[in-house]
Amino acid sequence: MTAPLRVGILGLGTVGAAVYQALLRHTSSIANRSGRPVTVTAVSARDKIRDRGIDLTGVAWFDDPLALAASDTVDCVVELIGGADGMAKSAVEAALAKGKHVVTANKALLAKHGSSLVALAEKHNATLNFEAAVAGGIPIVKTLRESLAGNQVTRVSGILNGTCNYILSRMELEGLTFDACLADAQRLGYAEADPTFDVGGFDTAHKLSILASLAFGAEIDADAVYVEGIASITPLDLIMADELGYRIKLLGVAERTQTGIEQRVHPTMVPKSWAIAQVMGVTNAVNVAADIVGELTLVGPGAGGNATASSVLSDLVDIARGIILPPLGMASSALAVLERAPMQRHEGGYYIRLAARDRPGAAAGIATRMAEQAISLESIVQKRPPASRAADPAGKSGAPVPVVLITYATTEEAIRKALDAMIADGHIAEPPQLIRIERG
């Protein structure tokens, strides 16, 4: 058996501690699978005296992450600090510049600097592995980069944020509001004190940009991702989705279209018959469509210490085995610059909920504006919320009435023009709700 792979861990939070414990727990089996031991020789974290439930006897402590990244006592650096810039970026760059391999779970860093970091790794004959950066314990990076290397991927989509999926699941199953579910998610530790990064869709967008790069052989371009969050989703939207045979999920979707590569994150109505519609709670799921294999769906834990540690260990075992692959599936010089598909060109069905003013001509005016944009309607549903029906059973209050429109396939541009015209006409009392429908 050859010399150990000496590992330095930057960051000893939930994931860092889980990685350390797992390496100790599975020392023998990892060595047998790798052909060499994988040993933590150095660590760095902000608080040396904090009790993390792990025994660091014999492990070198570095107060300065940069000093660890450059140290001759490690062959591979595991970056678990987090953040797109600052110390995480500096430490990864320092390690790669010294020819050290890097394993990271940092999707924000990769989304912003991934292409330049990959080029730096190539320059110094090192590798940058990041299975843990997307979908936690689901091996989607290896699936795209290795298992489907002979396929042409046409679409990759998924539930990539457990916080959002948990909130939408609770809202649907228990009839709760977004605010109530968010507060509960924060209490349980599923959501941060400032949840914007998760519920605003930005976390999903970072992950999607990485998957799109792997799927389509392109540079990572997080700025190309169209992003909407879930804060506008109401219990009525979930009730209507259920009645229409759908569930609402926050999806990240990257796909080839005639106008380029679409990269979009937004609440989406998916048919209940789809496997991804059955994924509830904090679980993640990724669906891949390719020309040879057809469709694959991978489901599993998207976050948490053990799930993320599992992916980190997988990357470490590859490095210990001497498996050094291009991080994005091909040499950085071969990566394309994706042609962005404008969101206005997106085509599909739409769910539109309007707060229509209860007055003569409103319904006709709404229909006229849809017809002007050649938008065909599959169904129109007028639905008073239960509370409104109880207070005004005859429906004579004059309060705005929820009207739900389901369209056949049309363009985003047509929908936006029709809605802008309705707002200008004064036919609707509140900003319209728009949710895209995936029908396959």
Split into its structural domains, the chain has a count of: 3
Based on the fold, state whether residues 161 and 289 are members of the same structural domain.
yes
Which structural domain, as residue segments, surrounds residue 188?
149-301
Based on the fold, state whether residues 109 and 158 are members of the same structural domain.
no
Based on the fold, state whether residues 129 and 9 are members of the same structural domain.
yes
Q: What is the mean pLDDT of residues 203-228?
A: 96
Please write the tens of the pLDDT for every residue from 242-251.
999 999 999 9
Domain-embedded: residue 321: no
Q: What is the mean pLDDT of residues 327-353?
A: 90
Q: What is the mean pLDDT of residues 366-390?
A: 80
Based on the fold, state whether residues 197 and 74 are members of the same structural domain.
no
Q: What is the pLDDT of residue 395?
A: 46
3 state DSSP class of 186: helix
Domain end: 80, 99, 133, which one? 133
What is the CB-side half-sphere exposure of residue 11 using CA atoms within 13 A?
A: 23
Domain end: 281, 301, 321, which one? 301
**DSSP per-residue string spanning 120-172:** HHHHTT--EE-GGGSSTT--HHHIIIIITTTS-EEEEEEE--HHHHHHHHHHH
Based on the fold, state whether residues 154 and 255 are members of the same structural domain.
yes
- Residue 402 φ/ψ region, left for φ over 0, alpha for ψ in the -120 to 50 degree band, beta for the rest: beta
Based on the fold, state whether residues 124 and 201 are members of the same structural domain.
no
Q: What is the mean pLDDT of residues 184-193?
A: 88
Residue 390 has pLDDT above 50, yes or no: no
Q: What is the mean pLDDT of residues 339-347?
A: 85
Catalytic residue selected from 207, 383, 396, 417: 207
Domain-embedded: residue 411: yes
CATH number at residue 425: 3.30.70.260
Which residues, in sequence order, are bridge partners of residue 252?
158, 265
CATH number at residue 118: 3.40.50.720
**Cβ neighbours of residue 339 under 8 Å, at least 6 residues apart?**
260, 261
Cα torsion 187, 189, 191, 192: sign: positive
Q: What is the pLDDT of residue 389?
A: 47
Domain-embedded: residue 325: no
Lowest mean pLDDT among 120-129, 132-141, 253-262, 307-316: 253-262
Which pTM was predicted? 0.93
Domain-embedded: residue 315: no
Residue 157 has pLDDT above 90, yes or no: yes
Based on the fold, state whether residues 383 and 411 are members of the same structural domain.
yes
Paired tokens of 191? 């959501």
Separation between Cα atoms, residue 19 and residue 26, nearest integer Å: 11
Domain-embedded: residue 88: yes
142 given a catalytic annotation: no
Residue 278 has pLDDT above 90, yes or no: yes
**Mean pLDDT taken over the chain:** 92
Based on the fold, state whether residues 235 and 378 are members of the same structural domain.
no
Based on the fold, state whether residues 201 and 65 are members of the same structural domain.
no
Based on the fold, state whether residues 168 and 289 are members of the same structural domain.
yes
